[in-house]
Amino acid sequence: MARRSKKSVPETLRKQLLALITDFEYKLKDDSLREQVLALIPANHLLRDLGSSLMNDENCNSARDRILAYLLKYPGVIIHGDELMVVAGISEYARRIRELRVQFGWSVLSGTTLKEMIEQGEVTLEELHASAINVLKTDVYALMAAEQDREAALRWNEANVLRRSKISTKEKILSYLRKNVGRPVTGEELRYLANDSKEWARRTRELRTEDGWPIATKNSGRPELEVGAYLLEEDRQAEVHDRKIPDPVRVAVLERDHHACRHCHWSHARKIANDPRTFLELHHIEHHADGGENTLDNLITLCNVCHDEVHRRRISREELIRLLLVS
C-alpha cells in the first residue's frame, strides 16, 4: 500500500530533511548504490510531508482536499501539475483532479482543453493570465469557477453513455447540450464526449455559427458566463437566414446593442421566472437569403419573443431600421 504523507510543522520537517541531505554526502563517498537509494527514501518521504504540510487548513486532510484548497486560492490561474503533486503529497494527483471534476462538480479544465478553446476563439490568453499558448499542456490545470456544480456527477454519467454511442462528434455534443438546456456545461465535458478528440471545440463552434444553435460562451455574447463554460440558451435553431454569422460580428452587434433587445430592451440581467423571453438572437434586417450581409448595419439584437414577432410580420422592417438609427 502506498505511503500517505504525514502533516507536521513545516519548519520541523525542513530541519529533518536538511539533516538527511547533509548526511547523504557520506553515503555518496562510501556506500553502495543500493545503500544510497535506500538512504534517499526517508528524504523523499519528508519532502512529500513538507509539501502537504504547507496546506495547513483544518479541512485539508486528504490529497484531494489539499488540491482543491490550492486551486481555490488561485482561481482562473494556470497551475502546473508539479505544484499539485507537491501540495497533494502524492504522485497520482491527476486521478484526484478527475474525482474533483466528475464526482464533486468542480470546473477544473486541463491545459489541452483550454488550448483547443483558445484556437476556436472561446477563451483568450489574457483571461487565463498565460504568457503563451505553448504553456497549455496536458499537465497544467485551471479552476474556472469558485462554486461547486452539484449536478455535474449526473451530467458526467450522461456524457459517459453518449460517448459510447455511434453517432458523430457534433451529434453527441448537440444531444448533450439539448439535455442540459439553460445549464452551463464545461469544455472538459464536451471534450470527453468527443473521446478526447481535438475537433470538439471546432464542432461546437460550428453548431453556433453554421447550424444556428444558440450556444453561448463568455466571448460569444454572454460575458457573465465563467471562462470555459458553454450554454445552450434555448432548444431551437435560428431561422435559416439568420445562421452563419461569424463570431466577431456577433459579438460586435451584441456590444453595440448593449446585450439587450433593441425593441423591448430585455437583457439577461432582467431575466425572471415565467418570462417567455429567455435569450437574445441576431436578426438580418435584409434577409441573408436575399443578399443581406453579415454587417453591423444589417444586424440587430432581438429577444426570442420579439424575433418571433418579426417573423410573424407584427414588427416591420421599417421599425427595425428606425430602432437601429436610434443611438
Rounded mean pLDDT of 14-33?
88
At 235-256, the pLDDT tens digits run 999 877 777 788 899 999 999 9
The pLDDT tens digits for 128-154 are 888 899 999 999 999 999 999 989 888
* pLDDT band (50, 70, 90) for residue 327: low
Q: Is the pLDDT of residue 94 over 90?
A: yes
pLDDT of residue 29: 83
Q: Which three cell numbers stand for residue 66?
A: 489539499
Alpha-carbon span 216 to 196, nearest angstrom: 22
Percentage of the chain beyond pLDDT 70 is 98
Q: Does the structure show a pLDDT above 90 at 265?
A: yes
Q: What percent of the chain has pLDDT over 90?
A: 56
Q: Is the pLDDT of residue 2 over 70?
A: no
User: Looking at residue 64, what is its pLDDT?
Assistant: 93
Give which of 107, 273, 282 is closest to 191, Cα–Cα: 107
User: What integer is the mean pLDDT of 113-138?
Assistant: 90
Nearest to 144 by CA among 77, 60, 88, 232: 77
Mean pLDDT of the chain, nearest integer: 90
**At residue 178, does pLDDT exceed 60?**
yes
Query: What pLDDT does 5 receive?
Result: 74
pLDDT tens digits, 184-234: 999 999 999 999 888 999 999 999 988 999 999 998 878 889 999 999 999
| Res. 60 pLDDT band, cuts 50 70 90 | confident
DSSP state of 246: -
Give whole-number Cα distances, 104 to 188, 227, 318, in Å: 14, 19, 52
Residue 1 has pLDDT above 60, yes or no: no
Query: What residue segments make up the domains of the chain, in order of their start?
Result: 1-54, 242-327
Residue range 25-34, pLDDT digits in tens: 888 887 889 9
Residue 115 has pLDDT above 90, yes or no: yes
Rounded CA gap, 75 and 78, in Å?
9
Half-sphere exposure of 185 (CA within 13 A, CB side): 28
What is the distance of C-alpha 23 from the center of its chain?
48
